[in-house]
Amino acid sequence: MGLKSAWLLVVFLFLGVAVAENVDKLNIWPMPKWVSKGHKRVYLSPDFELDTDGSKYSDGSGILKDGFTRMLDVVKVAHVVDGNLSSVDKSFIIKGIHVVIFSPGDQLQYGVDESYKLLVPSPEMPDHVHLEAQTVYGALHGLQTFSQLCHFNLRTKVIEVPMVPWTIIDQPRFSYRGLLIASGNNSDSCSINKTWRWDVDFPCRRCYKVDKKLLKCKTPVIGLYEFTLLHMQNVLHWHIVDTQSFPLEMPSYPKLWDGAYSVSERYTFSDAAEIVRQVAGQ
Protein backbone atom coordinates (compact mmCIF):
# COMPACT_ATOMS: atom_id res chain seq x y z
CA MET A 1 0.00 0.00 0.00
CA GLY A 2 1.50 3.35 -1.05
CA LEU A 3 1.71 6.26 1.31
CA LYS A 4 -1.12 8.04 -0.46
CA SER A 5 -3.57 5.16 -0.19
CA ALA A 6 -2.64 4.59 3.45
CA TRP A 7 -3.42 8.22 4.10
CA LEU A 8 -6.78 7.87 2.32
CA LEU A 9 -7.58 4.84 4.44
CA VAL A 10 -6.92 6.86 7.58
CA VAL A 11 -9.24 9.59 6.33
CA PHE A 12 -11.96 7.04 5.60
CA LEU A 13 -11.60 5.43 9.00
CA PHE A 14 -11.83 8.82 10.62
CA LEU A 15 -14.96 9.73 8.64
CA GLY A 16 -16.47 6.37 9.51
CA VAL A 17 -16.03 7.04 13.21
CA ALA A 18 -17.44 10.56 12.93
CA VAL A 19 -20.54 9.31 11.12
CA ALA A 20 -21.05 6.45 13.55
CA GLU A 21 -21.06 8.94 16.43
CA ASN A 22 -23.58 11.09 14.66
CA VAL A 23 -25.94 8.17 14.12
CA ASP A 24 -26.36 7.73 17.87
CA LYS A 25 -26.97 11.34 18.66
CA LEU A 26 -28.86 12.69 15.70
CA ASN A 27 -31.70 10.36 14.95
CA ILE A 28 -31.75 11.49 11.33
CA TRP A 29 -32.76 8.58 9.22
CA PRO A 30 -31.63 7.58 6.66
CA MET A 31 -28.37 9.07 7.88
CA PRO A 32 -27.22 11.82 5.49
CA LYS A 33 -23.92 11.55 3.70
CA TRP A 34 -22.39 14.61 5.34
CA VAL A 35 -23.59 16.53 8.39
CA SER A 36 -22.27 19.34 10.52
CA LYS A 37 -24.12 20.98 13.35
CA GLY A 38 -23.75 23.75 15.91
CA HIS A 39 -25.03 24.61 19.39
CA LYS A 40 -27.68 27.27 18.85
CA ARG A 41 -31.43 27.04 18.61
CA VAL A 42 -33.90 28.73 16.29
CA TYR A 43 -37.69 28.81 16.18
CA LEU A 44 -40.08 28.45 13.26
CA SER A 45 -42.45 31.32 12.70
CA PRO A 46 -46.14 30.24 12.95
CA ASP A 47 -46.58 31.25 9.31
CA PHE A 48 -43.50 29.39 8.11
CA GLU A 49 -43.61 29.65 4.32
CA LEU A 50 -42.23 28.15 1.15
CA ASP A 51 -40.19 30.54 -0.99
CA THR A 52 -38.99 29.41 -4.43
CA ASP A 53 -37.40 32.62 -5.71
CA GLY A 54 -34.64 31.91 -8.21
CA SER A 55 -35.75 28.33 -8.75
CA LYS A 56 -35.87 27.03 -12.35
CA TYR A 57 -38.62 24.60 -11.41
CA SER A 58 -42.13 26.02 -11.63
CA ASP A 59 -43.97 23.26 -9.72
CA GLY A 60 -46.88 23.11 -12.16
CA SER A 61 -48.04 19.79 -10.72
CA GLY A 62 -47.64 20.90 -7.10
CA ILE A 63 -45.14 18.17 -6.12
CA LEU A 64 -43.02 20.61 -4.11
CA LYS A 65 -45.97 22.45 -2.56
CA ASP A 66 -47.53 19.16 -1.43
CA GLY A 67 -44.17 18.01 -0.08
CA PHE A 68 -43.88 21.24 1.91
CA THR A 69 -47.38 20.83 3.40
CA ARG A 70 -46.66 17.20 4.24
CA MET A 71 -43.40 18.18 5.91
CA LEU A 72 -45.18 20.74 8.13
CA ASP A 73 -47.85 18.18 9.06
CA VAL A 74 -45.19 15.71 10.09
CA VAL A 75 -43.43 18.34 12.20
CA LYS A 76 -46.59 19.55 13.94
CA VAL A 77 -47.70 16.01 14.76
CA ALA A 78 -51.27 17.36 14.77
CA HIS A 79 -50.56 19.91 17.53
CA VAL A 80 -51.79 23.47 17.36
CA VAL A 81 -48.64 25.57 17.15
CA ASP A 82 -49.65 28.68 19.08
CA GLY A 83 -46.68 29.51 21.27
CA ASN A 84 -45.88 33.17 21.83
CA LEU A 85 -42.65 34.16 20.10
CA SER A 86 -42.83 37.87 20.94
CA SER A 87 -40.17 37.63 23.64
CA VAL A 88 -37.78 35.72 21.34
CA ASP A 89 -35.04 37.76 19.66
CA LYS A 90 -36.06 38.25 16.00
CA SER A 91 -32.72 36.92 14.79
CA PHE A 92 -33.69 33.47 16.11
CA ILE A 93 -36.98 33.30 14.22
CA ILE A 94 -37.05 31.46 10.90
CA LYS A 95 -39.78 32.68 8.57
CA GLY A 96 -39.58 30.14 5.80
CA ILE A 97 -37.62 27.76 3.65
CA HIS A 98 -36.00 28.99 0.46
CA VAL A 99 -35.95 26.15 -2.04
CA VAL A 100 -33.82 26.48 -5.17
CA ILE A 101 -34.20 23.74 -7.78
CA PHE A 102 -31.91 23.88 -10.80
CA SER A 103 -33.77 21.59 -13.19
CA PRO A 104 -37.15 22.67 -14.59
CA GLY A 105 -38.38 19.11 -15.28
CA ASP A 106 -40.15 16.68 -12.98
CA GLN A 107 -39.94 13.51 -15.03
CA LEU A 108 -39.35 10.67 -12.63
CA GLN A 109 -36.99 8.02 -13.91
CA TYR A 110 -34.30 5.70 -12.66
CA GLY A 111 -31.04 7.57 -12.15
CA VAL A 112 -32.64 11.00 -11.62
CA ASP A 113 -30.40 13.28 -9.52
CA GLU A 114 -31.69 13.07 -5.92
CA SER A 115 -28.97 15.05 -4.18
CA TYR A 116 -29.67 18.07 -2.01
CA LYS A 117 -27.97 20.57 0.25
CA LEU A 118 -29.67 21.89 3.37
CA LEU A 119 -28.48 24.89 5.40
CA VAL A 120 -30.24 25.96 8.60
CA PRO A 121 -30.22 28.92 8.66
CA SER A 122 -29.33 30.19 5.20
CA PRO A 123 -26.06 32.18 5.24
CA GLU A 124 -27.53 34.70 2.77
CA MET A 125 -30.99 34.94 4.28
CA PRO A 126 -30.58 34.21 8.00
CA ASP A 127 -34.33 34.24 8.61
CA HIS A 128 -34.77 31.36 6.16
CA VAL A 129 -33.67 27.79 5.72
CA HIS A 130 -31.83 27.18 2.45
CA LEU A 131 -32.48 24.02 0.47
CA GLU A 132 -31.01 23.47 -2.97
CA ALA A 133 -31.31 20.49 -5.28
CA GLN A 134 -30.86 19.57 -8.92
CA THR A 135 -34.38 18.17 -9.13
CA VAL A 136 -37.63 18.40 -7.20
CA TYR A 137 -37.02 14.82 -6.03
CA GLY A 138 -33.82 15.86 -4.27
CA ALA A 139 -35.75 18.73 -2.70
CA LEU A 140 -38.36 16.28 -1.34
CA HIS A 141 -35.57 14.33 0.38
CA GLY A 142 -34.27 17.62 1.79
CA LEU A 143 -37.72 18.44 3.22
CA GLN A 144 -37.89 14.96 4.71
CA THR A 145 -34.53 15.46 6.42
CA PHE A 146 -35.48 18.97 7.57
CA SER A 147 -38.63 17.61 9.23
CA GLN A 148 -36.38 15.46 11.38
CA LEU A 149 -34.37 18.46 12.59
CA CYS A 150 -37.53 20.19 13.82
CA HIS A 151 -39.09 19.50 17.15
CA PHE A 152 -42.43 20.64 18.56
CA ASN A 153 -41.83 21.81 22.12
CA LEU A 154 -44.86 20.83 24.23
CA ARG A 155 -44.02 23.35 26.93
CA THR A 156 -43.52 26.47 24.79
CA LYS A 157 -45.82 25.24 21.97
CA VAL A 158 -43.46 26.37 19.25
CA ILE A 159 -41.45 24.41 16.72
CA GLU A 160 -37.76 24.66 17.35
CA VAL A 161 -34.66 23.54 15.49
CA PRO A 162 -31.90 22.74 17.94
CA MET A 163 -28.19 22.45 17.13
CA VAL A 164 -28.06 25.09 14.39
CA PRO A 165 -26.25 25.93 12.21
CA TRP A 166 -26.88 22.73 10.30
CA THR A 167 -25.13 21.91 7.03
CA ILE A 168 -26.30 18.72 5.40
CA ILE A 169 -25.07 17.48 2.04
CA ASP A 170 -26.79 14.33 1.00
CA GLN A 171 -27.90 11.99 -1.70
CA PRO A 172 -29.28 8.46 -1.38
CA ARG A 173 -26.50 5.97 -1.00
CA PHE A 174 -27.89 3.45 -3.49
CA SER A 175 -29.53 4.22 -6.81
CA TYR A 176 -32.08 1.39 -6.40
CA ARG A 177 -33.96 1.59 -3.12
CA GLY A 178 -37.00 -0.56 -3.16
CA LEU A 179 -39.90 -1.87 -1.17
CA LEU A 180 -40.90 -5.41 -2.07
CA ILE A 181 -44.48 -6.41 -1.42
CA ALA A 182 -45.02 -10.08 -2.05
CA SER A 183 -48.78 -10.44 -2.16
CA GLY A 184 -48.90 -13.19 -4.81
CA ASN A 185 -48.54 -15.99 -2.26
CA ASN A 186 -50.84 -14.41 0.25
CA SER A 187 -54.45 -15.40 0.58
CA ASP A 188 -55.38 -12.20 2.48
CA SER A 189 -57.95 -10.54 0.39
CA CYS A 190 -56.54 -7.48 -1.40
CA SER A 191 -53.58 -6.99 0.86
CA ILE A 192 -52.75 -3.77 -0.92
CA ASN A 193 -55.39 -1.29 -1.90
CA LYS A 194 -56.22 2.40 -1.63
CA THR A 195 -56.57 2.35 2.14
CA TRP A 196 -53.48 0.25 2.54
CA ARG A 197 -51.43 1.31 5.53
CA TRP A 198 -48.01 0.23 6.57
CA ASP A 199 -47.18 -0.10 10.25
CA VAL A 200 -43.53 0.62 10.49
CA ASP A 201 -41.13 0.29 13.31
CA PHE A 202 -37.96 2.19 12.61
CA PRO A 203 -35.61 4.44 14.51
CA CYS A 204 -37.60 7.64 14.44
CA ARG A 205 -38.86 9.68 17.33
CA ARG A 206 -42.12 10.97 16.09
CA CYS A 207 -45.59 9.76 15.59
CA TYR A 208 -47.28 10.20 12.24
CA LYS A 209 -50.96 10.60 11.70
CA VAL A 210 -53.14 9.45 8.90
CA ASP A 211 -56.46 10.17 10.48
CA LYS A 212 -57.43 11.55 13.86
CA LYS A 213 -57.93 8.15 15.43
CA LEU A 214 -54.28 7.32 15.10
CA LEU A 215 -52.83 10.40 16.76
CA LYS A 216 -51.35 8.63 19.72
CA CYS A 217 -49.70 5.77 17.94
CA LYS A 218 -46.08 5.16 18.82
CA THR A 219 -45.41 3.37 15.57
CA PRO A 220 -46.02 5.48 12.54
CA VAL A 221 -48.98 4.45 10.46
CA ILE A 222 -48.65 5.90 7.02
CA GLY A 223 -49.72 5.49 3.43
CA LEU A 224 -47.73 3.80 0.74
CA TYR A 225 -46.51 7.05 -0.82
CA GLU A 226 -45.47 8.53 2.52
CA PHE A 227 -43.75 5.28 3.34
CA THR A 228 -41.64 5.36 0.20
CA LEU A 229 -40.83 9.04 0.69
CA LEU A 230 -39.94 8.64 4.32
CA HIS A 231 -37.47 5.94 3.47
CA MET A 232 -36.26 7.83 0.42
CA GLN A 233 -37.18 4.89 -1.73
CA ASN A 234 -37.62 5.00 -5.45
CA VAL A 235 -38.84 1.56 -6.46
CA LEU A 236 -41.95 -0.42 -5.57
CA HIS A 237 -41.49 -4.05 -6.47
CA TRP A 238 -44.91 -5.63 -6.35
CA HIS A 239 -44.65 -9.38 -6.53
CA ILE A 240 -48.27 -9.78 -7.49
CA VAL A 241 -48.39 -13.20 -9.15
CA ASP A 242 -46.98 -16.47 -7.88
CA THR A 243 -47.37 -20.20 -8.35
CA GLN A 244 -50.10 -20.02 -5.71
CA SER A 245 -52.23 -17.34 -7.32
CA PHE A 246 -52.69 -15.08 -10.30
CA PRO A 247 -54.96 -12.35 -8.98
CA LEU A 248 -54.35 -9.64 -11.60
CA GLU A 249 -56.76 -8.86 -14.42
CA MET A 250 -55.06 -9.10 -17.83
CA PRO A 251 -57.37 -7.70 -20.51
CA SER A 252 -55.51 -9.62 -23.24
CA TYR A 253 -55.76 -12.97 -21.35
CA PRO A 254 -59.09 -12.72 -19.55
CA LYS A 255 -58.99 -16.22 -18.03
CA LEU A 256 -55.68 -15.75 -16.23
CA TRP A 257 -57.16 -14.26 -13.08
CA ASP A 258 -59.32 -17.35 -12.67
CA GLY A 259 -56.13 -18.45 -10.91
CA ALA A 260 -56.89 -16.12 -7.96
CA TYR A 261 -57.65 -17.62 -4.56
CA SER A 262 -61.27 -16.63 -5.03
CA VAL A 263 -63.47 -14.37 -7.13
CA SER A 264 -63.17 -11.47 -4.70
CA GLU A 265 -59.42 -11.85 -4.11
CA ARG A 266 -58.44 -10.10 -7.32
CA TYR A 267 -56.98 -6.81 -8.49
CA THR A 268 -58.55 -5.20 -11.51
CA PHE A 269 -56.33 -3.58 -14.09
CA SER A 270 -57.40 -0.17 -12.71
CA ASP A 271 -56.66 -1.19 -9.09
CA ALA A 272 -53.09 -1.91 -10.11
CA ALA A 273 -52.85 1.36 -12.06
CA GLU A 274 -54.16 3.25 -9.00
CA ILE A 275 -51.49 1.76 -6.75
CA VAL A 276 -48.77 2.71 -9.22
CA ARG A 277 -50.25 6.22 -9.43
CA GLN A 278 -50.26 6.53 -5.63
CA VAL A 279 -46.68 5.46 -5.25
CA ALA A 280 -45.63 7.99 -7.88
CA GLY A 281 -47.36 10.54 -5.62
CA GLN A 282 -49.75 11.82 -8.26
Query: Which residues sit at the interface with ligand NAG, rule CB under 6 A?
Result: 84, 86-87, 185, 190-191, 193, 195-196, 242, 244
Nearer Cβ to ligand NAG (69/244): 244
User: Residue 198's closest CA among 218, 225, 237?
Assistant: 225
248: DSSP letter: B
User: Residue 164's closest CA among 96, 92, 97?
Assistant: 92
User: Residue 173's closest CA among 33, 23, 21, 16?
Assistant: 33
CB of 194 to ligand NAG, least distance (A): 7
Nearer Cβ to ligand NAG (92/196): 196
Mode of pairing for the β-strands spanning 178-182 and 235-239: parallel
How far apart are the C-alpha atoms of 272 and 192, rounded to whole Å? 9
217: DSSP letter: -
How far apart are the C-alpha atoms of 121 and 111, rounded to whole Å? 30
CB of 235 to ligand NAG, least distance (A): 20
Residue 165 exposure: Cα atoms within 13 Å on the Cβ side = 13
Nearer Cβ to ligand NAG (143/260): 260
CB of 185 to ligand NAG, least distance (A): 4
CB of 195 to ligand NAG, least distance (A): 5
How far apart are the C-alpha atoms of 141 and 25, rounded to whole Å? 20
Nearer Cβ to ligand NAG (120/192): 192
How far apart are the C-alpha atoms of 277 and 282, rounded to whole Å? 6
CB of 189 to ligand NAG, least distance (A): 7
Nearer Cβ to ligand NAG (113/199): 199
Nearer Cβ to ligand NAG (172/220): 220
CB of 79 to ligand NAG, least distance (A): 17
